[in-house]
Amino acid sequence: MRSLYGKFLSFTTGIMMTSAVIAFLVVNTYYHQQLKGQNDAKNMNIALAMADYIETEEPADLESYLRTQAALGYKLFIVNDNRDAHMYGVPFRKENLRIASVDQVLDGQLYHGMRDLKTETFMTGFFSDELANTVGVPFTYNGKTYALFMRPDIKMLFTEVHFLLGGMVVVMAIVSLLSMLIVAKKLIEPITKLTAAAKRVGEEKFTGTLDINRRDEIGQLAQSFQRMTEKLGENDRMRKEFISDVSHDFQSPLLNIKGYANLLMDSELPEQERKNYAKVIQSETERLSSLTKQLLLLTSLDQLESPLKPINFRLDEQLKEVIRKQRWLLEEKQMSLVMELDEVSITGDPSFLEKVWENLLSNALKYTEMGGEIDIRLSGGIDDVKIAVRDNGAGIATEHLSRLFDRFYRVDHSRTHEVEGTGLGLSIVDQVVKLHGGRVEIASVEGEGTTFTVILPKL
C-alpha cells in the first residue's frame, strides 16, 4: 500500500512483531544466563527429596508412589541396574538420554541435564520436552540401585492462570492495534483535506475555507495554508485587475491614434487640421511610451531580488539636477520655486531615486495652477534624511489618500481641469522608497495644496 494509512498500518504491525521477537530474545537470553541453572537446582532438590523419601520411608508400593508423583505434574523415568526402564506420566517427545548418563547416575552421580543441555534453536530449554532435558538422581530400593530422571510436565503445569495471562497479551495486542488504526485515521483525515485544498489551489480556485480546527502542528499547517490561499487569491485578483487596467490604458491611446490616422488619410484635409491631428498622434505615442517605461520600471521593482545597486552619493546635488531638467516647465507655468537643500550624502540607488524626485516634482507641477508655488526642502538628521515637496495646488481629498499608491489609481480632477497621467507615478515612488527602507508621508488639503515627505535612512 502506498497511502500514508497503509504505511502506518504496516509500520505498526512491523513494530509490534519486531518488539515481540526482541522481547523473546531478551527473555530467552535471561533464561539461559539465569533461570536455567536455578530451574535445574530446584528440580534437582525435588528429585533428591523423592529419592530420599523412597530410601528412608521405603513405600510398600513403589509403582503407585511414582504414579502419584507423575499425577502431581512430573514426568518420571526410572531405570534399574538391569537397564530395565519405566516411564511414569506422559511420555517424552524425544527419548534421547545417553546410556553413559544412565550409567553415571547408577554409579551414584547426579545428572544435570536441565542445566547442561545445549539447545540449538531459540526455543527455550524450559519447553523442550526431551528425556535428556531432565535431572537424574540415584536411589536404592529393596537393595537394588535405580536411576530416577525427572522434569516437570509443562503441559500439566500450564494452568488457567497461564492461559489468562496469554489471553491478556493477545487481547492487548489486538486492542492496541485497533486503537492505533483509529488514531491514524483521525491523524490522516486533515492531511487528506489539505491535499484536496492544495489541489483546488493548483486549479487556481482560491475560494473556500479549510474545515480543520486543531491546535497541533497539522492545525498550524492548515492555518498557514489558509492564509497562503487567501494571499494567493488576493494576488490573483490584483493581477487580473492590473492586466485589465493596463489593457484599458493602452486601448484608449491606440484607439485615438487609429482614429486620427484615418482622418489624416483624407487628402482634402486643411493643413492646420493635419498638423493638429499629427500632434494628437504624437502626444498619444508619447503617452504610450511613458506608460511602457513606467510598467517596465515597476516590473523591475517587483523582482524577488532587489534591483537596487546602492552607492553613496550627494542627494542635494541630485535634487538640483532634477529641478534643473524641469526648469523649463516651471517657467512655462510661471511658477516660483523655493529650494532649501542641506548638503547630505546617502547610500542608495541614484537611478531609482531620481525617478522618485522626478515623479513628485512633475506631480506638483501638473496639479498646480499657473503661477503657483513649489517648495523643496532637504534636511539631514543623524539616521535619516527628509525630502519634502510642497505645492499650493489642487490638493487631494482625504478619502483618496489611502489608495494613492495603488497602481493606476487616479483622482478625478475634472472639476478643475483634465491632466495627463497614468496613475503609476506614485506607486513607483512608494515602491522605490520602501526598497530603500524608507516611507512616504502625505499631508494635503483639498484646494490648498499638498506636501509629500520622503523619509530615507542614511545607510
Q: Please report which residue ranges of 98-216 form alpha helices under DSSP H.
A: 99-106, 113-116, 154-157, 160-202
CB of 198 to ligand ADP, least distance (A): 38
The answer to whether 81 touches 106, Cβ cutoff 8 Å, is yes
Among 274, 410, 439, 458, binds ligand ADP (CB under 6 A): 410
SS3 440: strand
CB of 390 to ligand ADP, least distance (A): 9
CB of 446 to ligand ADP, least distance (A): 9
Helix then strand then coil, in percent of the chain rounded to 5, is 55, 15, 30
CA distances from 422 to 250, 263, 363, 397 (A): 10, 26, 11, 19
Nearer of residues 28 and 359 to ligand ADP, judged by Cβ: 359
Per rule CB under 6 A, is residue 425 in the interface with ligand ADP? yes
Among the listed ranges 70-78, 180-188, 231-239, 356-364, the one in contact with ligand ADP (CB under 6 A) is 356-364
Among 111, 367, 433, 440, binds ligand ADP (CB under 6 A): 367
The answer to whether 96 touches 104, Cβ cutoff 8 Å, is no
Per rule CB under 6 A, is residue 432 in the interface with ligand ADP? no
| Region of 90 on the Ramachandran plot (φ > 0 left; ψ -120 to 50 alpha; else beta) | beta
Among 281, 376, 426, 454, binds ligand ADP (CB under 6 A): 426
Among 28, 229, 359, 392, binds ligand ADP (CB under 6 A): 359
Per rule CB under 6 A, is residue 125 in the interface with ligand ADP? no
Per rule CB under 6 A, is residue 396 in the interface with ligand ADP? yes
CB of 251 to ligand ADP, least distance (A): 17
Per rule CB under 6 A, is residue 333 in the interface with ligand ADP? no
Nearer of residues 221 and 435 to ligand ADP, judged by Cβ: 435
Other Cβ atoms within 10 Å of 150 Cβ, number: 26
Q: Please report which residue ranges of 265-375 form alpha helices under DSSP H.
A: 271-302, 315-332, 350-366
Question: Which residues lie across from 404 on neighbouring strands?
Answer: none
CB of 300 to ligand ADP, least distance (A): 17
Other Cβ atoms within 10 Å of 140 Cβ, number: 14
Size of the site for ligand ADP (CB under 6 A): 22
Q: Which residues bind ligand ADP (CB under 6 A)?
A: 359, 363-364, 367, 391, 393-396, 404, 409-411, 413, 421-427, 450
